Structure 1
């Protein structure tokens, strides 16, 4: 920050139109440092560049440079703070769905107990209420217990120690509240760093081939290749742009691509094996264990049934009028309870089919990549001719930086190196 403020002071005193030499002379800072800081400052504060006929670069800044700079830095600091705050908020959001599920079950169950208790107490006074009470009790209580044992049967309890369950123990351990969120919404995109991996592999392919490659070598790592751009090799353009590549035409009109910036290397950088099977990862429905799935689904189903039972009880307006207060409050929010219970079971089902569709598309893309990789490995006549032409480029533009090629180093005295220096 102190260095940037010193650069800004110099720019302001030089009337916001400066060169590297101007600022270096005025501030006493190294020209190499000034150049780096001016470029950064111009980028952050929306400055402009002018180039003279002699090649000198002039940096033009706004008159409110300092204000823009502090605003930019404030936004950056606030962004850092927001990232930390969002991590906490997102955790609270994740566990909130589990909290709502448990709260819904407890609240609905309490409401049902209150209503049934009230109906049973009025049984002798009103036969209609008595019949309704016995009917509801018969419907609810036995089925609730049956439902519990359907999802936690005694016979299948030991199955959790089977090999299938042991496989699930490798799943990442998360709390039940987090498991609810994972079941509902999944665990995010498994290919967030796909582009980073893609460009790292492509750069290694280019380097391993001494900076000269053909399109078929890059094709297994690129997408968007179709019958329209496969022949003219337009799909290579993003690679050329990113790594400053140059297309070269063979005697037969075929294209090969050289990358001068990747042809200069040190001896310490060895060749690295490149996995030709560049694949996207498939989406998983959820990362939670089998036992957590059973728990989440069980509670979801129980909650849904309880909400339906409560809904049937609340149809009698006499109950709502008689038990006003808590029951009246629950009645006013019944739409929320029903919506949550329905979405809790419906959303994962919808997400399941969405995941199947996504994974189908991923498998298609992965298959196409494998197919393009096999095309290069088969080496037809066109590819063989291209590779022979590539051989002519090898070592022409690749510059190896080794100790034997050094002319001068500050590690030794000038006299020791006088034979290598033209004095």
Structure 2
């Protein structure tokens, strides 16, 4: 069984001595998953179990346990190697779209330049009528300025001026400390596809927050304290009887407790044991989803990508007009014939480069509207909790009756796998003798 990466990270962050409740609060895992994972990790990494006199268990791990696991599990080594390789591959994938854009533009510009120069050379030798016969009548509808070489010089200048303006914009961002870390090729990928889901770890954040709330309240809460971290609470009967809390009870092995007034609170014994004193952790008042961004690229990078994409699209249309009758490629051959073959791909890329971000822009606005609605809904639950009525205050007070914290210190251990049974029996005998002597002394003092 390959160790759970979330448990490994939690153990390291908790200084290598943990309880199930500590790991659950840190990683937001299911109690049963955390318990099984810790047992497996202790077995594989040479960890030790420490059992307190009251039966709670703490797990102690060596600080080099990750190296032990790496040597033992080829899957762990393979995952670490693949993560490194994937970072390189994904970077190449990201910059490939920018490279394709530049390459597409260069091919289109070179093809148009070659065709226009050929047309102008032919025009010097023939009158306009004979030129029409050489290259077909299909070209006659195009305005004369398409074939003006000076127009293409302006076209090139307009493009090549953009990088200089972009460089000035980058220098401005650097001077203001607003560097986003993207080069232009990465910015093209961001412009086309965005930068991923900002809430990719929403469930992980949700369960971590809920477990932290429970730990901060020493293992006993009311449903209203958990509601700001959930989504749909249901309506009618489901809302009245707090059915939305059931997944939390199942995940963290909680149980309901009912007061004499019929009020329900929730008790989580496994989250009350800790390897060392639990200091109340700061946590957001409600689960706040992050808004989707169209792109993490700077405005200058986005403008540059948009402008270059528009120029590339216009160039593809011009090239399509020049290749329309098919005789140009046949007469010039070579590079122009190759361009004619790949022209559909150039056109599709040019259209997609502009259409895809446009569609994604409206999709992002729609998603953000949904995110805003959910955030407002959770925030209203926090307001209700903060302005609790008398009944809710009674529930919170009743929950405090079940609140407690059990610290598994080294002095309260009944058994540990760090030492042999004989050594522990000897230590326990000394401890028992000391306890009896203490009681005898107390009895003599009373007499």
Q: Deviations over 1:122-165 (max 9, x none)?
A: 11324143795981445775377369659969xx99995999x5
> Which residue does 1:256 correspond to in 2?
265
Q: Deviations over 1:50-99 (max 9, x none)?
A: xxxxxxxxxxxxxxxxxxxxxxx676665554443332222221111111
Deviates more, 1:210-219 or 1:321-330: 321-330
SS in 1 for 2:239: coil
User: Is 1:189 equivalent to 2:197 in the alignment?
Assistant: yes
1:387 aligns with one of 396, 405, 410: 396
Contact 2:166/2:304, CA 8 A, preserved across alignment? no
Equivalent-residue separation in structure 1 for 2:85 and 2:413 (angstroms): 52
Contact 2:95/2:189, CA 8 A, preserved across alignment? yes
> Which residue does 1:27 correspond to in 2?
none
Alignment of 1:332-371 (within 5 A): 332-371=341-380
Deviation at 1:181, TM superposition (A): 0.7
The higher-RCO structure (CA 8 Å, 6+ apart) is: 2
SS in 1 for 2:365: helix
Deviation at 1:169, TM superposition (A): 5.0
Equivalent-residue separation in structure 1 for 2:75 and 2:168 (angstroms): 55
1:238–1:181 CA distance, 2 compared to 1 (3 A):
same
User: Is 1:290 equivalent to 2:299 in the alignment?
Assistant: yes
SS in 1 for 2:283: coil
> Which residue does 1:399 correspond to in 2?
406
> Which residue does 1:235 correspond to in 2?
244
Alignment of 1:169-248 (within 5 A): 169-228=177-236, 229-248=238-257
Normalization by structure 1: what TM-score? 0.72
The answer for unaligned runs of 5 or more in structure 1 is 2-34, 42-72
1:200–1:248 CA distance, 2 compared to 1 (3 A):
same
User: Is 1:105 equivalent to 2:98 in the alignment?
Assistant: no
Deviates more, 1:295-304 or 1:137-146: 137-146
> Which residue does 1:281 correspond to in 2?
290
Deviates more, 1:217-226 or 1:135-144: 135-144
Deviates more, 1:81-90 or 1:292-301: 81-90
SS in 1 for 2:87: helix
1:321 aligns with one of 302, 326, 330: 330
Contact 1:246/1:258, CA 8 A, preserved across alignment? yes
Normalization by structure 2: what TM-score? 0.69
Deviates more, 1:398-407 or 1:190-199: 398-407
Equivalent-residue separation in structure 1 for 2:335 and 2:371 (angstroms): 51
SS in 1 for 2:240: coil
Deviation at 1:105, TM superposition (A): 0.8
SS in 1 for 2:126: coil
Aligned positions, number: 355
> Which residue does 2:66 correspond to in 1?
none
Once superposed, what is the RMSD of the aligned Cα atoms?
A: 3.8
